[in-house]
């Protein structure tokens, strides 16, 4: 393959990745079968927006998440870490309440390398 042809192929591939639709969800997902409509669930709480916006950062083997809750309902956030090595224990942190207009920090780590990290959400009172 000629260098110019490889460059054109790489450019097209990059354009597809950058311009394909991507839905970033900054709120908690609803349980299966729950559409979030008040008429279906029968209560107004399921129609209200919910869920703290969390930003997860991985630095080598350390994981830090900052979660900000802009909504009036408490969101219990938990940091989950999956380590790359089979002998390195994965961890699920404790649920931390993020109250209205509150930002919380979650920390964790692996001994060696982090494979993935994410935050889960649960409604609280």
20-72 confidence digits (pLDDT tens): 443 334 444 444 444 444 444 445 556 788 999 999 999 999 999 999 999 99
**Contacts of residue 23, Cβ cutoff 8 Å, sequence gap at least 6:** none
Please report whether residue 100 resides in a domain: yes
Please report whether residue 43 resides in a domain: no
Please report whether residue 48 resides in a domain: no
The pLDDT value given to residue 83: 96
Give the total number of structural domains in the chain: 1
Closest Cα partner for 57 from 14, 1, 107, 120? Answer: 107
> Which tokens belong to 117?
């990290």
Please report whether residue 46 resides in a domain: no
Strand partners, 109: 62
Domain with 94, as residue range(s), is 53-123
How high does pLDDT run on average in the chain?
Answer: 77
Please report whether residue 80 resides in a domain: yes
77 phi, psi to nearest 5 deg: -105, 145
Please report whether residue 11 resides in a domain: no
Q: What is the DSSP letter of 61?
A: T
Q: How far apart are CA 16 and CA 18, in angstroms?
A: 6
Please report whether residue 68 resides in a domain: yes
This model's pTM is above 0.75:
no
Q: What is the DSSP letter of 34?
A: -
Please report whether residue 63 resides in a domain: yes
């Amino acid at each position: 393959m000629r260098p110019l042809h490889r460059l054109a192929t790489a450019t097209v591939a990059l354009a597809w990745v950058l311009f394909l639709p991507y839905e970033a969800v900054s709120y908690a997902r609803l349980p299966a079968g729950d559409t979030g409509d008040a008429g279906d669930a029968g209560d107004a709480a399921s129609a209200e927006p919910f869920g703290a916006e969390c930003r997860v950062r991985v630095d080598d083997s350390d994981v830090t998440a900052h979660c900000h809750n802009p909504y009036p309902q408490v969101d219990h956030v938990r940091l989950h870490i999956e380590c790359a090595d089979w002998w390195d224990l994965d961890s699920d942190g404790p649920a931390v309440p993020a109250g209205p207009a509150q930002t919380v920090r979650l920390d964790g780590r692996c001994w060696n390398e982090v494979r993935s990290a994410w935050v889960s959400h649960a409604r609280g009172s």
